[in-house]
């Protein structure tokens, strides 16, 4: 997490990546989320931080068989997470090369600008994971994800005032900023109050993608590493599509 529990100094040298991994020789899970200072340091017990209550947040937890973890290991190298709690037995070090180095912050591996991989959940669901490093100096949504997924995207990220990128229709597949979220007919809130990071295919397009991750549509985020995991699961798409109140067209 770039915002660690009880931080002393915030550092932008690591990715904007947030999450946790747990596994054994059979399987494990990967939690990808947007919550600063979460999870707590294990020795201090479980807690949900105030930083997760102040604004809207998002997350996805996926179970993977162990044979997927070498690919995840490579994706994490590109994301360059700020690891603040780590325990990887030596028996895994020859197969998962990068994670132990990330734990000790001693990675000497060459980091590609971006990396895309296909993952399969324990029950056979296919996912695409996009990982960008801080050397890929562009908007991950417009420059890469929308064009690769071949779909117009509606994006919901933290829209801090005067720090957001406008909707972008300059490339074959467009990216639009969601401006407000609805939870019910009488409950809605602005994207300025939403720290979540997700996007979906525009309604009516044939490629119904949902992506959940840890980067905002902000000029500053072009200089940060991070990523998104994407699925064509229909139930997930419907759930997120129903949250969109309105979005910003291109000017």
Catalytic residue numbers, as ranges: 195
Give the contacts of 47 (CB within 8 A, at least 6 positions apart).
Answer: 40
In terms of phi and psi (left: phi > 0; alpha: psi -120 to 50; beta: otherwise), the region of 141 is: alpha
Give the whole-angstrom CA distance, residue 37 versus residue 11. Answer: 13
Nearest to 109 by CA among 87, 79, 152: 79
Give the whole-angstrom CA distance, residue 68 versus residue 73. Answer: 9
Is residue 148 helix, strand or coil? helix
Q: Where are the alpha helices (DSSP H) in 29-125?
A: 69-79, 98-104
- Do 137 and 223 meet the contact criterion of CB atoms below 8 Å apart? yes
What six digits make up the tokens of 28? 């494990």
Element (H, E) at 109: none
In terms of phi and psi (left: phi > 0; alpha: psi -120 to 50; beta: otherwise), the region of 106 is: alpha
Nearest to 207 by CA among 229, 230, 228, 227: 230
Q: Within its chain, how far is the Cα of 161 from the centroid?
A: 21
Give the whole-angstrom CA distance, residue 111 versus residue 191. Answer: 33
């Amino acid at each position: 997490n770039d915002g660690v529990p009880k931080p002393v100094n915030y550092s932008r040298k690591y990715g904007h990546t947030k999450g946790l991994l747990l596994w054994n020789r059979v399987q494990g899970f990967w939690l990808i989320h947007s919550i600063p200072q979460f999870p707590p340091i294990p020795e201090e017990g479980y807690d949900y931080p105030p930083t997760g209550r102040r604004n809207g947040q998002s997350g996805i937890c996926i179970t993977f068989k162990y044979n997927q973890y070498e690919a995840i290991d490579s994706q994490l190298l590109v994301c360059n997470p700020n690891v603040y709690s780590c325990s990887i037995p030596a028996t895994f070090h020859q197969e998962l090369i990068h994670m132990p180095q990330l734990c000790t912050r001693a990675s000497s591996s060459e980091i590609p600008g971006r990396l895309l991989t296909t993952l399969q959940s324990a029950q056979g669901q296919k996912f695409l994971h996009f990982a960008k490093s801080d050397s890929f100096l562009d908007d991950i949504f417009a420059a890469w994800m929308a064009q690769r997924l071949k779909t117009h995207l509606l994006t919901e990220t933290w829209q801090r005032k005067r720090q957001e990128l406008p909707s972008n229709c300059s490339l074959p597949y467009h990216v639009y900023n969601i401006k407000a979220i609805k939870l019910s007919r009488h409950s809605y809130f602005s994207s300025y109050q939403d720290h979540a990071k997700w996007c979906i295919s525009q309604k009516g397009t044939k490629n119904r993608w949902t992506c959940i991750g840890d980067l905002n549509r902000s000029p500053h985020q072009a200089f940060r590493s991070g990523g998104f995991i994407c699925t064509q699961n229909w139930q997930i798409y419907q759930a997120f599509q129903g949250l969109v109140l309105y979005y910003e067209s291109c000017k």
